Structure formats: C-alpha cells, structure tokens
Amino acid sequence: MKLDKITSVIDERGIATVTLNNPDKHNAFDDQIVAQLTHIFLDLNANAAVRVVILAAKGKSFSAGADLNWMKRMANYSVEENLVDAKKLALMLHTLYSLSKPTIARVQGAAFGGGVGLVSCCDMAIAAEHASFSLSEVKLGMVPATISPYVIEAIGPRAARRYFMTAERFTAATAFQLGLVNECVAQEQLDASIATITDALLTNGPAAVTSAKQLISEIKFQAIDQALIKQTSELIATIRSSAEGKEGLGAFLEKRQPNWINAATAGE
C-alpha cells in the first residue's frame, strides 16, 4: 500500500514496515503526512494478521521533524488554528505510542525534533552508529511540546533538561546511553539486529505480547500496594485460563511448538 510520501507493507509473517518516503526533504512531515501516518497506524492496529510494526525511512535521514513549508504556514495561524494542528500531531504520536503491536524504530540516519518524537514513541529502537539526534525546537524559538511526554519517558527528565534547552546534536552512542535507542550498530548490521528482535517477538504468544505491553503502561510508577497486587494477580489468572495461555503451557510441557508458530514465522 502506498500513500503519498509513506509506504506500508506487510510480509507473510505479519511484519508491517511503515517507511517515511520523502528523502528529498529528509523525511520531514507536514499535516498531510501526519494524517496519513495516523490512518496507517490505526489500520495496522486493527489488522489481526499484523504481529510487529517497524518504522523506517528512506534516504540519508530518518526524519528532520516538521516540514519547513508547514512551519511557515503555521506561523500565520491563529492560536486556535495552531491548537487544532497540534492536536492532530499529538494524536498521531499517541496512536503510534499506544499501538497494541510491538513497534521498532529503524533509525538509519539523523532524527531531529519530531523525528526524535517518532523514535521515542516506538517500543524499541535500533540506530546505525552514524545516526545523530537533536531536540532542535528551541533554535527556532519553539519547544518540543507534543513529543515531550514520550521523549522524557525514553531518556528521563535529567537528560531532557539538557537536550531540550541546548538543542545540541548528539550521537547514536549517546542516544544508547540515554536509553533513546536500544542498540547502536554498524549500518550493515541494522537489518540483522532488527531481525533478531522480530524473530524473538514472533515466537511469543501474540495476545501475551499485547498484554505485556499494556501491562507496562498500566502499572509503571504505581505504588506496590494491595490494589496493584490484586490487579496483577487477576491478570495472570486470566492469561493462564485463556486459550493462548493453555496452548503455550501445553506446548512447553509436551515439548512441541505452540500453534502460533508456523513455518513462515519459524523461518523454515
């Protein structure tokens, strides 16, 4: 499927690759691309055949964030018009962040501004060692507002204090140290590293993976009290009693593959 400056392809194993395909503009996005991404993410989330979503980009840059012409138009907007525009961007980011499928950012080049936001919204990120990053908004007299919840969750408030205010460019190695990316690898190892993760994901129960992702969002930063203990106990009891839970345990005890692993998934 192709929508303007974005492509979305699902392979036979259920791996969906969404590719920013606007290399001449360093994969910067405008309001139309934001709307298209939102639509694609919603469609993939509703597609039961999709097991993993990879966010990738063509060309030398991952994403330069907001498109210059879009920013020029926004400069003439009223506060009300800017609010409508900002809410659409916020919706796209939250749609990616809250996808029920595991998401992986394939960062092959520079990610600036909103591009860092896209990386932060993904569950995992693998970056080529020459990739660079910058939260560059303050250079334009702006702030990384809509992306801030996701970036701060990824790198923590201490690092955010520095990079939100200095707009320094930092390396993929620094991004790894900050927790923005999970691995920093040579360019030629990028796809192999992502394949290692996708292969691992595909051997796991699809419903369990979704539930595990949701679990993190629900319990992070909560006090470990009786209410939380009750919630987590009820969750595992429900999962154990589910068809997938019974199949997974049965397969383990019978020393066979569970039924969600087929020949394509196993790479046979």
Tokens of 31: 């309001």
What contacts 252, CB < 8 A, 6 or more positions away? none
Of the pLDDT bands very low, low, confident and very high (cuts 50, 70, 90), residue 6 is very high
* Helical pair 31-46 and 79-97, crossing angle rounded to 10 deg: 30
Mean predicted confidence (pLDDT) in 54-80 = 86
Domain 2-200 coded CATH 3.40.50.10150: no
Higher pLDDT pick, 21 / 78: 21
E-assigned strands of 51-131? 52-57, 61-63, 103-107, 110-112, 124-128
What's the pTM?
0.92
Average pLDDT, the chain: 92
In angstroms, the CA 268 to CA 255 distance is: 18
Evaluate if residue 39 carries a pLDDT over 90.
yes
Q: What are the structural domain ranges in the chain?
A: 2-200, 205-253
In angstroms, the CA 105 to CA 56 distance is: 6
**Tens digits of residue pLDDT in 140-179:** 888 999 999 999 999 999 999 999 999 999 999 999 999 9
**Tens digits of residue pLDDT in 99-125:** 999 999 999 999 999 999 999 999 999
3-state secondary structure of 134: strand
Evaluate if residue 10 carries a pLDDT over 50.
yes
Of the pLDDT bands very low, low, confident and very high (cuts 50, 70, 90), residue 262 is low
